[in-house]
Structures are given as C-alpha cells and as structure tokens.
Structure 1
C-alpha cells in the first residue's frame, strides 16, 4: 500500500533538447527507513556526519565482491568520499569541492560569469576545461580543482587500508559531477585507477521511457534515493513542483527559527525575572542602608541647625554690605560684622573697581578658613582666594595674619564708584 511507503524525488538541473526535464521519483518501505534511521541514531551520529545519499550509493553501487572501492558523490557544494569493502562502509569523508567550486574555477579561468561557465561545463569536455586559456600560462584553476579531488581520493584510499580493507581497486563516480563529460577519464589518468560512472539501473529490465532517463542522466539516483531514505517523518505526499518544494523547505526553516526565537525569548525572560529578583533584593538592602544613613544625617542636621543658621546670617550680612553700602568704609565695617568674632579686618583695599583686598588677623587658622567660606557663600564676588595666612605675634598672643582677595563682577555697584577720580588711577585704601 502507498501508505507504507516514504517518497522522494529529484529534478534534473538542466533541460534536454526538447525543453523537458527529467524527474526521478524514488520510494522506500517505511520500516526500512525506520531501520536505517535508528541505525544512525544508536551510535549518536548526526545527519551531517553520514548523509543518506552515501547509504543509498553504498546499497546501489558497491560491488558484491570484497574489493575496496571509493564512492565519489559530487553534489552542488560538497563531495562525499566513501570507502566501501563489499557492503561495509570503511570510512566516510566530506569536502567542499562540489560542482559549484568547479563552476567558479571555470569562470575564473575564462573570465566569464558563473551562469555562462555553468552552461559551458554542460557543453565542453572536461579536458578542454582543464586546458589553460589563451594568454595565460601555468596551471588552470580547473586543473587545480581536479588535483584537490585527486588528493582527497588518495587520503580516502589510505583510510580504507588503515581501517582493515583491501587496497582500493576502483572509483565509482555519482551525483551531479558524474554528468560532466570526460571528468571520469581525467580523474582516472591523474590517480592511475579506473573511474566509472555509477549506474544503479544496471541489470534491470526497464521500459523505453525509463531507459531514456537512465541514459540521459544516470547521476540523479543518489539524491532521489537519499530523499526517499531520509523522509522518515514525511507525510507521504508527492510534490513534483520544485518551486513548491523549495517554498516548503523555506517555510519549515522559518517555523524552526520561530520556535527557536520563542525558546530564546522565554530563556531571556526567565533570566530577566531571576536577575530582577536578585536586583530587588539588592536594592532593598541598599534602601534599608540608605534609610539608616538618612536617620543619622537627620539627627546630625538637627544638631548643626543653629550653627548653620548663624553661617547663613553672616553670609547675608556680607552680601548686603557689598550691595547696599554707599562708601567703602561702610563695606569694611559691614564685612567685619559678618566675619567670625575671632577674625578682624585691619585694611580694605579697593583696586580699580575690579578687586577688594582684605587684610587682617585672626586667633586661629580655622577662623580664616571660615571667613573665606562665608565670603565665597555670600554670592556677590566672582571669586574669593586667600593669598596667605602666616602665624605672627601681637599683644603677647599668637595671631594669624592673612590677606584675602575678592574679585568683583563687572556690573557691581562699587565697580562704578571706583572708576572715577583718583581711585581709577591708584585704587582706594581704607584702614
């Protein structure tokens, strides 16, 4: 029954002279497919390590005798090299030396586009492709590609012997590369081993139509049979439209990408929630610590409020002294009232409307620092700086003599007064 079969198909890349394309349809019993798939899953082999086309080639092409052969299956991008002894696979390797790289090499040799090079590969013999182009010397890119294929074949031959098999007696070519005219002869000449095109329909009684397909493109069997073996989870439907088949594969990739995206989003959400909980706990601990600090600071603020109010009052008096005084002597008197009690001003120099220089004494250097702080906080000077603060003696007491410079802003009331008369030339000194 058709329900017991798994189907696959493949379409030829190029159309014939009549404009038609060959389509190869293959089917395999579902239990056979399940047996092969389980045989790959038991040793935990990923699909990419042993392709189903390799299994199909081994079943269809390898000789009954125990002679060691190499199955070379060339697809668009990859070439699979399988060393076989009878029905036993000795080794399997893949290399990115598919027909696509051959097309790129031919395009480089002939200085043409890839599409044109692909058409020439279907028309020219392979020996003609290997010949250097006119005006070029040395090895062509196509010949370099052949040498790379031969090198990989020699490596597979050595691995077959090291795996317990007999020396390789021949090479069987299949896949899209087998359709290139004359490629088998060129490879055989370089590796000194017989190379033949694999034909899975040998010794079969075929009708005229099927025989035409067999002779026209015998290399398509591996892809078709591989699709049949690999479709273990397919719905059993047959799709002969390559465009729809391609769209179905794209849709499946998008669905897998969407599922992967949902999984990643769920993982990110879980990690975010977990990190959020950790962050909340951390912030809660920081908040408790901050509350404790606020309580301590609040207690300290209550204890320093009287002193702070006194400082603010002194700064206000200094600001009023500069802004509301009509004469420099009033500035000197009012600034003195705003400074600490242990600090006094003995001289005020009003210099050309730009600078107020204060000289005086204090009982401690901390009183001088308080005076600088209060003058700066008054907000009426552009800058306040202390020139010096030296320890001296006065009335048998230690006295700190200091000088403070206060720069006036250009629009100050006193700056206008100082720009007239003698003060403009020499400044004004009040003692």
Structure 2
C-alpha cells in the first residue's frame, strides 16, 4: 500500500489550509512536470487532522483538478497525523513470508494503539539484514483504518480513484532521493513545516531511522499572530512571510518574535531527537514547506544548530515548462509532498 511506482503519476497533498496537486511524467527516468495547482480550503474543513466537512473537501478536490486541467482519474494520496505511526525496529532475521506472520506482534509491542477494538492497517519495509547477528532492521508502519478512510472517502466521492495511500514523511524522502540524491554515508534531517505541523525524518545511510509528525507552531499560527498583534489583514500577513512586503517599520521586533517561535520549535525538536539517533551530528538539514519563506530561517537555524541547512525546491531538479519556472521558484517548496506523492505513479 505504501510502496510502488509507475511511469507517470498525480500526487494530492491534503493540508489543513489548502490542497496541493502535482502531475509528473517520465518518473522512472527524469521526472517532468505536467501540471500543478494549489487551492485553499474553506476554514475549519480540517481541524487537528480530522475531516470536519467531507463535502467541502470533496468539492475542493474536484475544483483543484479542474482548475489545474488534470484529467487523470487516479491519484496518490498522502496522510499524516497522530493516528499514523512509523518506527524503525530491529527484530529476528526471517524472510518476508515469515515476517508477515510476525508484523502484528511487533506492531502491538511498539505502537500505543488498541489492536483489539480498532482496525489497524500495517505495512513494513525491510531496511537491511545482518546474517552474522541473525537480525534485521525493519521500518514498521501502523495507521488506524478509520483515520485513512476519512481522507479516502471524500476524495472517492469526487469520482477520483485512489491509486495508493502514502505517508507524507516518506513522500519527502522519496522526492529528495529521486531528484537531489541521498548519499548512503550521510546523516540527513528533513524538516517540513506546514500550517500547523512539523514533519521530521532522520535519515542515516539512506534509511529513515526516526520519523516524527509533530503538532507545532506553523505558518497558520504565525499568520494569525501577525493579524492579531499588527492589526493587518490575512493577505498582508502572508505577503510579509513570503518576503513580498516588509513589515511595518515600528513592528519589526514583534514580527521577529513571531518568527522566532517557529524557528525555536524547529531547532528544539531537531536537537532533542538528534541526540537519540545512531549518529549524534547530522551532516545537513533539509527544509521544505511553507515555513521556508520566513526571512532568514535558513541562516538562523544554521547559527543555532551549527549544521549546514539547505532549502529544498524539488523543481530545481525536475524538468518544468519554461513558462512555469519563475512561479515555481517562489512556491516550489510548498509542493514538495505533492511532488513526492506523484512519484508513486
């Protein structure tokens, strides 16, 4: 369910405030952008990863495909939230058939779900085997079926077939690996900031070792704080975040404080988790998502963590139509998950 791929694909990223869609072709060789789109969701359609208004989500999904001129009837859908969990474990060496009978036992011992009363969907990926120690490393995945259904059902109601359901944190990994490349001997931290969440993926020697989906200060709260503290409109706040408009001269300190809360949350979470990784110092940190538009976020995180920081725009590596290049330089990092989902084919 969570792994696969073909020659072309469409990825749909369902965020708290907006839907993002990307269609790619030639994904098995050199990914090429076909179409893309972003469409805002009405307020409170999604609250804390729960779909509060399925009908509005259905209508918005239909709308983004029409407005983006995407006619494909199969899409790859991404999910995230506290009801989706990923963990790297080490278990006894066995073949796939044997582990199919073992996976539920391992999941029950590693995830805080009620396996007796709730339908839990499981998947796994064997990362490597150590024949000498008779052990193997496994990436274990568990998700509540009802949580997945609340995303799948409204999209299906839009007459869209779901080709695959993937986890957003894997989509980040896949798009970077396919385009920029992940060296097998490096420790890389991926940090993707959304409207109200922070996705962290710690990758060592090409494999995820720590994956976290954290409810955090995001761009949504920053916008609301600016509206409240500066007395400006939502559009004005968004332009300040993107660097399109400078903050009011007498409010520069206030704006810096608002930015600082998000940057501090990112650095604190990275520092805390980095200490538990196999290696205790990352070679670099990769930023994506809406938070990358915050002025000097790259430089401040570099100063705080003493690690090289890179802002990732997948369209720096994907072939794009010339007429879209300028716009994608501005919004590309926001489409990172959707592009990663599209790679599933």
**TM value normalised by structure 2:** 0.48
The structure with the greater share of residues assigned to helix is: 1
Determine which structure has greater relative contact order: mean sequence separation of CA pairs < 8 Å that are 6+ residues apart, divided by chain length. 2
Bigger CA radius of gyration: 1
**TM value normalised by structure 1:** 0.40
